[in-house]
Structure 1
Amino acid sequence: MAPGWWWSSTTKRLVAYGSGVMRTQMMLLDRDPAVVALACRPVELVWREDGKVVGHAPQLMARLQDGSGLLLDCVGHSGSSARLAERARVVAAAAEAVGWSYRLARPPDPGWWPMCGGWRVTGIPGTPQGVHAGSGGGVQQSAAGGGGCAGAG
């Protein structure tokens, strides 16, 4: 899927996305009542590692009702690369240091779709019976989505 724009009902403005996985995660975040703001790549973290300057801009950020933030990187069905996994470790530590959380989010199971008032199952055998959008600290692999993009509100 090509990059595009998602009209966010949370922010009442367009938010950019760079892939289908990012768009899906934005859709999920936009429906999460704990999310009050969304943004695409609103921050870049820069640090030194082995004498080199390294940087990473998490793909999405969500500002939550409690004032905390959630940084989110989207990965495909195959998971994250070794490079992203290492950067995720650094970003998770930085997020935790300021009371935020960080998540690596995989595409949701195709049997689950957000609906008004929550989630429903399509009747596909083997789908989970509950989806929870947590926002705990540290690096988390999330197959169900949730989380979000914090940003300017």
Structure 2
Amino acid sequence: MLDEPVLSAWASLGLEHALPVRSFFSWPGKRNYEGSWWSSTTGSHVSFESLLERDFLMLADYDQDVVGIASQPFAVLWPKGTDGGRGHVPDFFVRLRDGGGRVVDVRHRDHLEAGSCQFALTRALCDEAGWEYEVFSGIPEPRSSNLRWLSGYRFQRYAPAGTVVPVILEAIGSGVSVSAAVRRASRMLELEPQLFRPISCIWLSSGSLKLAWTSRCRWMLGSHRLKRCCLCRAWRLRCESRQVV
């Protein structure tokens, strides 16, 4: 299938730092939505060519086992005559915390069957290189909506002070809502009542959501939508925080 065996040393290449091997073209009327996702994992922007690719980046950014992400870092040219094979550029490469790598192709579920041959060839290549291989086709609800909400707090400006983190983690506890955790943390920190709104509430709410994004505290994102009252409350506080001088 391959002209030469894929060297196992490929698995140690720093592909998570590679630039895209081709340009992302756009034109009027193009159906795909292109853009860049600011990754809290890499501290930089990672390009995507569709909203489905953006969803993958959001999920990979949330995954604590992922320590590096690169968009379209290499191209594969299959040997002439390979059955069903042609040039292929995988969508992403991610570096895992244990040092391993994962190649990811993103396809809408309606197009999975059409790409099955290409996926099989790429999977065989990854097996020889010692990489994992994944075909991503979306995030089920309500996990998708919950992650999209939490991703707004991935930025470092929402990180709570180191001395406050243990208090927030203790206040959240098991099955406690954001608003209840904020009230409890305020009491634990002995904040003055007149300071509770808006500054301290903004501070603690944002810190709680930042910790949820970094998985310092765990929420059941896949079982149900986060309570609407908590989401609206946190959204209002986030907007107010931009107006506080």
TM-score for the superposition, normalised by structure 2: 0.46
Q: In terms of mean alpha carbon deviation, does 99-108 or 49-58 score higher?
A: 49-58
**Distance in 2 between the 1:96 and 1:23 partners?**
26
Are 1:39 and 2:140 matched, yes or no?
no
- Report the equivalent of 2:119: 88
Bigger relative CO (Cα 8 Å, ≥ 6 apart) = 1
Q: Which secondary structure state, in structure 2, belongs to the residue aligned with residue 22 of structure 1?
A: helix
Structure 2 CA distance for partners of 1:89 and 1:111, relative to 1, 3 Å: same
Are residue 72 (structure 1) and residue 104 (structure 2) matched?
yes
Aligned partner of residue 96 in structure 1, secondary structure: helix
Q: Say if 2:141 and 2:222, in contact at 8 Å, map to a contact too.
A: no
**Paired AA for residue 37 in structure 2:** W
1:36 and 1:51 mapped to 2: Cα distance?
34
Larger gyration radius, structure 1 or structure 2:
2
* Deviation readout 1:48-107 (Å, 9 max, x if unpaired): 24279821111111011111111111111324142x211111110111111101111111
- Determine whether 1:120 maps to 2:221: yes
Partners in 1 of 2:138 and 2:106 — Cα distance?
Answer: 8
Q: How many residues align?
A: 123
Equivalence for 2:132: 101
Contact 1:79 1:106 in 2 (8 A): no
Counterpart position of 2:87: 55
What letter matches 1:10 in structure 2?
A: T
Name the CA shift for 1:77/1:89 in 2 (closer, same or farther; >3 Å).
closer
- Quick one: which amino acid aligns to residue 13 of structure 1? S
Structure 2, unmatched stretches of 5+, are 1-31, 151-211, 226-245
Partner amino acid, structure 2, of 1:104: V
Q: What fraction of aligned residue pairs are identical, expressed as a percent?
A: 27
Residues 110-152 of structure 1: CA deviation (Å, up to 9, x unaligned): 211335225514637xxxxxxxxxxxxxxxxxxxxxxxxxxxx
Q: What is the letter of the counterpart of residue 21 of structure 1?
A: L
Structure (1 or 2) with the greater helix fraction: 2
| Larger displacement relative to structure 2 (104-113 or 114-123) | 114-123
Q: Distance in 1 between matches of 2:138 and 2:42?
A: 23
Alpha-carbon RMSD across the aligned residues, in angstroms, is 2.1
2:61 to 6, 10, 30: 30
Q: Which runs of 5+ in 1 are unaligned?
A: 125-153
How far residue 3 of structure 1 moved from its aligned partner, in angstroms, is 0.3
